[in-house]
Structure 1
Amino acid sequence: MKLFRSILLVVHFVLLFLLCGVLLNAYIPPKVFWGFSFLSLGFPLIMILYVIITFFWIFSWKKRAFFFMFAGLFFLNPTKRWLNYSSENKETPNLKIVTFNVKSGKWGKNEIQNYINAQKADLVFLQESGPDYELDHLKAEETLQIICFYSKYKILDRKDIFKPLTEKDVTSQCEQIDIEIRGKIYRVFNVHLQSFGVVKDMVKLDGNGNEDEKKMKDLVKKLIPTFKVHQEEIQLIRKSVEESPYPVIVAGDFNAVPNSYEYYQMSKVLKDAFFETGKGSGTSFHDFKYPLRIDYIFTSETIKPIHYSVDHSAHLSDHFPVIASFKIE
């Protein structure tokens, strides 16, 4: 038993070390060291194991439990970015937003269209939009290849801020759009960061050592270059946000998890609506049966989140729709 506890203690310190590595994504970009990006993907599993072993020390009446409990407090906010517990906000919202990667409508265009119409949103951000959708009382006007923005309000200006990058990869798109809401101008960004191009068969291990090893190597070869491209893309978005003379809303599919470099870059200049007011799991991509939150809504300080939900009952795409309401002046 003593040997088992010694091994478990070493494992616990390793997990703590890995969790600290996740936090370094806030400071170290993928082009400098991409390993921390992998840790952000594994954060839920690492955190679960850390908590389980902490409880083991508690039930074993070991003093070391106090150390690991105290150290675990540093990871409350990183955990809230995946699984939140905000109290209910009683204020009345006056702006409703839906962001949804609809997977080109492959799971049913009419069903998707009916679902979005039922939300009665003021702004709709679609990614991998595919066919045009007829949304009640909302206008799309111009649209890019894989993203589309629908608004109840007047659109004043539009700009493709990824234009220099889209020649490399058509899955990378971000449109900057100025809209007028009740006499005030807001700048919104519809985002789709570069896809990893990973499908279920690539991450499903079948027990064959050689084939599984090849799958893992191929997966790493896909992930590392994409992490580095994301660095360029998110820096462009952040620069545009910081230069905006208007309050900002950034929504869409970031193809990046919480506590990643991409997430920290956005959260340094904008609020994460889920972190502010979300409840339960923020998981928005369900195809891999693993908790992946990759769809977000970020806002300026003057735009107050009131309610945020991921509709896990809507199986209309490999993503779940994100629905949020806000209070603006």
Structure 2
Amino acid sequence: MKVVRLIFLILHLGIFLLLVGMLLNAYVPPKVFPWFNLLSLGFPILISAYILLTIFWIFSWKKRGIVFLLLGLLFFNSVTRWINYSSVKSETPDLKIVSFNAKNGGFGVKNIESYINSQNADIVLFQEYGGNKKYHFEGLKEGPESPIITMFSKYRIIDHKQLIESDYEYNNAYATQTDIEIKGKTYRIINMYLQPFKFEKKMVKLDGNSEEDKQKVKDVVKRLIPTFKMHQEQIAVIRKSVENSPYPVILAGDFNSVPNSYEYYHLVDGLKDAFVEAGKGSATSFHDYKFPIRIDYVFTSESIQPLSYKVDRSVKLSDHYPVLTTFKLER
């Protein structure tokens, strides 16, 4: 039993160090050391193993259980970015936003139109909407056309600017900033779609063949590392728009990045994660793999209060679930 406990202790310490490495994404950019960003992808597994081993030590009446429990508090905020239970807010919302990666409308434009019309949203932000597809929503007008992302709004658009534009060869990302007037005040809406990893299920599914699986892992890493570095460049452009905005900001879209990643830390800087503020349950929004993956987000300036955040799992109109958020705006 002593040998087993020693193995568990070494394993527990190893997992703790990996989780600490993940926290360094707040400071270390991918172009300097991309491997910390890889750790963020495995956070659900790492934290689950850490919690189970902590429970094992506590039930074994070992003092180290208390030590690991206290050290685990370092990762509390990291957990709430995946799973959260906020109290219900009683205020009446001023704004409702739907953000949705529509997978190029492949599940049916009419189905998407019917769903969006049922939501009575004030603003709808699409990613991968299918540039050649036309959507018609009740009471919403489409903003300036873009090939990958688009926006529909009940409110008047004052200004619009492309921040990142895809070249379809090297760069497949896109981001826009749109200034809109809501009840006499101007807000900046940034709709973004960071560089995708372009994975297919067969590329990440391990078959038990050691040589083939090893090659698959190598191929995955070869795609991940360059994409992390591209994200760093794309984030710099978006951060400039946020920091220079004279108006309160709502930043939303498909970040193609998980919580606790370099992308997350540097995009949320100075903003609030609407899920952390008002979400309940799991924030997992990408459902094509049997693994918890949150890559869709809504961030806001401090002056905008998130009242609710819902990942709507009642519909499957894409490989992403729609994200529904409501807000109380500044007076």
Tell me, in whole angstroms, the C-alpha distance in 1 between the residues paired with 2:134 and 2:84. Answer: 34
Give the 3-state SS of the residue equivalent to 2:221 in structure 1: helix
Partner of 1:289: 290
Once the two structures are superposed, the pairs formed by residues 55-66 of structure 1 within 5 Å of their partners are 55-66=55-66
Flag the 1:245–1:198 CA change in 2: closer, same or farther, 3 A. same
The AA in structure 2 aligned to 1:304 is Q
The AA in structure 1 aligned to 2:107 is W
Partner of 1:112: 112
The AA in structure 1 aligned to 2:145 is T
Residues 105-142 of structure 1: per-residue CA shift (max 9 Å, x gap): 11121111111111100010000001121011111132
> Offset of 1:85 from its aligned partner?
1.1
- 5+ residue gaps in structure 2? none
The AA in structure 1 aligned to 2:116 is I
> Offset of 1:208 from its aligned partner?
1.6
Are 2:103 and 2:129, in contact at CA under 8 Å, matched by a contact in 1?
yes
Give the 3-state SS of the residue equivalent to 1:161 in structure 2: strand
Number of aligned residues: 328
- 5+ residue gaps in structure 1? none
Tell me, in whole angstroms, the C-alpha distance in 2 between the residues paired with 1:154 and 1:327. Answer: 19
Are 2:143 and 2:153, in contact at CA under 8 Å, matched by a contact in 1?
no
Are 2:268 and 2:299, in contact at CA under 8 Å, matched by a contact in 1?
yes
Tell me, in whole angstroms, the C-alpha distance in 2 between the residues paired with 1:321 and 1:169. Answer: 28
Tell me, in whole angstroms, the C-alpha distance in 2 between the residues paired with 1:166 and 1:42. Answer: 31
> Offset of 1:166 from its aligned partner?
3.8
Tell me, in whole angstroms, the C-alpha distance in 1 between the residues paired with 2:109 and 2:46. Answer: 38
Partner of 2:48: 48
The TM-score normalised by the length of structure 1 is 0.98
Partner of 1:143: 145
Partner of 2:231: 230
Give the 3-state SS of the residue equivalent to 1:90 in structure 2: coil
> Offset of 1:303 from its aligned partner?
0.6
Tell me, in whole angstroms, the C-alpha distance in 1 between the residues paired with 2:143 and 2:249. Answer: 20
The TM-score normalised by the length of structure 2 is 0.97
Are 2:143 and 2:150, in contact at CA under 8 Å, matched by a contact in 1?
no
Are 1:166 and 1:173, in contact at CA under 8 Å, matched by a contact in 2?
no
User: How high is the sequence identity, in percent, across the aligned residues?
Assistant: 56
Are 1:161 and 1:176, in contact at CA under 8 Å, matched by a contact in 2?
yes
- Whether 1:33 and 2:33 are equivalent positions in the alignment is yes
- Whether 1:134 and 2:136 are equivalent positions in the alignment is yes
Tell me, in whole angstroms, the C-alpha distance in 1 between the residues paired with 2:143 and 2:306. Answer: 27
The AA in structure 2 aligned to 1:161 is L
Tell me, in whole angstroms, the C-alpha distance in 1 between the residues paired with 2:3 and 2:210. Answer: 30
Segment of structure 1 superposing worse, 84-93 or 292-301: 84-93
Tell me, in whole angstroms, the C-alpha distance in 2 between the residues paired with 1:141 and 1:65. Answer: 55
- Whether 1:241 and 2:242 are equivalent positions in the alignment is yes
Are 1:169 and 1:194, in contact at CA under 8 Å, matched by a contact in 2?
no
Tell me, in whole angstroms, the C-alpha distance in 2 between the residues paired with 1:33 and 1:75. Answer: 21
Partner of 2:259: 258
